Amino acid sequence: MKFYRKQPIEAEQFDGSSDLFMKYDMIDIGAMCEERNSPEIYMPGVHRKVSIGDWIITDNFNHHTLMTDKEFQQQYAELPVIPKNVAERIITEHSLNDLIPTLGGIYRAMIQTVVYGYQKGDIGDWIVNHSDVFARAWLDGYVVEVEK
């Protein structure tokens, strides 16, 4: 499960499949000129050619934008992977901030761990030893680690 906090988008990488071609109402200009499998594929509303490997970004208003793979990787860095119990902690802390607005919600979440102590192997231990990952997950979003 991917959870983007600051970037509410849906992204699909174009693989040349008929499914994506149909889903996004793409137009094959080459086919209109009786050439088959031409590299001249376009999307309505997007004023550049679609290539295999490009990303189709859909925002929450259902508007589409096209990005090269390089542009996508630069703008939408891969989200940090965190354990399920840490994700639940982030959700709980964000909910508390919505109910009781206090400054420094992430600071409170991290400091409570240090002040109240933690045991090796519990959530607090993970937060202290992965504080940079925890901060990124809190701010940007996260992917919940798949249980093995």
Per-domain residue ranges for the chain? 2-75, 81-144
Q: Over 50: is that where the pLDDT of 4 sits?
A: no
Distance CA 139, CA 45 (A): 32
**What per-residue confidence (pLDDT) applies to 7?**
56
Q: Over 60: is that where the pLDDT of 100 sits?
A: no
**What per-residue confidence (pLDDT) applies to 1?**
43
- DSSP, res 16: S
Distance CA 123, CA 39 (A): 51
Q: Over 50: is that where the pLDDT of 45 sits?
A: yes
| Lookup: tokens for 83 | 């354990």
Would you place residue 136 in the very low, low, confident or very high pLDDT band (cuts 50, 70, 90)?
A: confident
